[in-house]
Chain A
């Protein structure tokens, strides 16, 4: 039966309420931990099931990890015997004495033992530079930038490769390895890729057709192929392309490959930043009579790079993870030292590999997660000016 409004009006109504109903009691819980649990964990039947399943899964995973790393772990021992399953220890977790013994090798690899203080100084200099640059209230951050991008590279090159004239015996890069190589490769990539990336990004937006073409070809070519092939190219083709006597050593070839690869990705990140600057900024700079380089240096790049910082840091995270690939072209980076250590017959047990990989994972995670937190904090700081 359908009824229009007119029908409704004339229908004999059996009951019409004349006074308002009593108000409902306030909801039992709107705030407080119980209300939060009800709203966020148990809001519907499906959610209750999901919450239970997830809680079980999470507890199981966390327990397994803690169990392996701490509860059933072996803490002392001289060789593999300590980490084998025996009647005394039916379940064996992480084999920590193995890590303790191989720790120095994983950091310095074959770097001569009496010269290892040089590596320590390099780490300290680098750490000081990073703190200087990242700590916003640090004094004279401009000098910090010069220190990080110019002073540290030169000094650490002399320090690490040696300079017999000032009493530092030369150390061949073939002896370098472990965390040292990982940090050197990553940091060389970081220092080279930003300026090269900026130049490539400017080139891609240039009005000159040949500059634009070369930039586009380079960027798209490098981004279109896997890093491994770039590293293979750097390690087997680069020596062919230069005269015999200049042939770069293995580590340098890998660094060139990583730096070129990172530069292409950096160029795209910077280009996005350049594109986000309103045209009025360019026109304003030109209107006050600035030339191209002045306009870029004083007006456009400072704004573009600032808004790109999170993406730049993300590229650095990718670069840091990608340094593990130098392992494939025969460089002794940190992951490679873990690989070598875990097949060492002295420590070969069923848990050795997992222990080694767990430590490696923690190492990479700490660095990458730290960088991503920094990127996120910067993003939040930059977004402050947008909030009203």
Chain B
């Protein structure tokens, strides 16, 4: 091959590879993949998911490759004649039993360390009690007297009625908006206590990487922690079938920098005590 065009070929190949490998960074994967999330934990879970995915992909390519070769190379229409004696191969069979075990152990090891971390709720800076109801959430900041309900926002609630005639695409944050969101500080480990009033619900915000069931009569515990540099609004949904409106009790969490959060909580406490004073009169 002529040297100049070999060079051109290589540049083309290099260019294609470069754009292909930069694709992950440039593309919007939010519609096909798990979010990286806004906490260290959610990022670790995302990374773990990606490693599992790639391992499975590699094994799939090898396995499907073998199947395709078997089907094409040995097809009768190509004149293949069956080898009736091919019934066993002790070494091959041992290999494809033992090697998977090793791969599985390798896959499982990272999860141990992460699980220990997930189960460790010490060092928290705030405890929030979450109670699931049919069909809304209740949040309480333990020890502050601040508690409130969080329901599907009116705009979504009206639009979602059967035959409402309203196009959901015109409703902002359709089905992922509430009247009063949960507010938490960034950069703080927040301990979430989960329970329910009636049936089993589950609290899940994908960006936080954690999900846990809310079981009536019991408290469950998990922690979340939004990176200090990622204040913002994060949305999730109930993740355990809880009746007719299971799909209509979303979760909205507003993460504010600590100082702003403290100010917000103080205002809520004041409003709560004036409201209490008013009812006691």
Chain B binds chain A: no
